[in-house]
Amino acid sequence: MNIINFINRFPDEASCIEYIKVQRMQQGIICKKCTGIKHYWLENKLSFQCASCGFRTSIKSGTVMQSSNLSIRTWMTTITFITATKKGFSASELQRQLGMKRYEPVFRMYHKLRKVMGQRDERYSLEDLVEYDEAFMGKSTKAKIRSQSKRGRGI
């Protein structure tokens, strides 16, 4: 996806939240507390609430965006920059392009994304990353249930 397509498709934070929310719901969310898989979306908390126990999973939790205060659109813009740019660029250049005041959060985000994306080939797109990458979005429900049942058999 080039920059223009990105801007058209994701003009604001709300459109980015909606996109990530839908992707995560399609993948399935597992409650950390009770391993329930049915969740309701809480728009004002930007979280999924477990239907069984009420535990909340934030939209960023379990993804590469976890514990970051940067907006989801900032993350998605940076992914688009990385995939749309052939040559590498510095974190300070990224900070300038994003118009961010503080360097440190931009540096940390860039470092995490480079680590996650570095293992993939150059044709990596935003769709690939968001839809398929476990490091970005967290493991899918199916994958988690599989690994849990494997552990279960060992006991």
Return the residue of 33, 96, 142, 146 that touches Zn ion, per CB under 5 A.
Answer: 33
Binding mask 51-80 for Zn ion (x = CB under 5 A): -xx-x-------------------------
Beta bridge partners of 42: 47
Quote the DSSP letter at residue 70: S
Size of site (CB under 5 A) for Zn ion: 8
State in angstroms the smallest separation of the CB of 27 from Zn ion: 17
**Dihedral of alpha carbons 104, 116, 128, 67, sign:** negative
**Does residue 141 belong to the site contacting Zn ion (CB under 5 A)?**
no
State in angstroms the smallest separation of the CB of 58 from Zn ion: 14
Helix (H), strand (E) at residue 58: strand 56-58
Contact 125, 9 (CB under 8 A): no
**Does residue 28 belong to the site contacting Zn ion (CB under 5 A)?**
no
Give the Cα separation of 1 and 7 in Å (integer): 10
**Does residue 36 belong to the site contacting Zn ion (CB under 5 A)?**
yes
**Does residue 34 belong to the site contacting Zn ion (CB under 5 A)?**
yes
Alpha carbons within 13 angstroms on the beta-carbon side of residue 59 total: 23
Binding footprint of Zn ion on the chain (CB under 5 A)? 31, 33-34, 36, 50, 52-53, 55
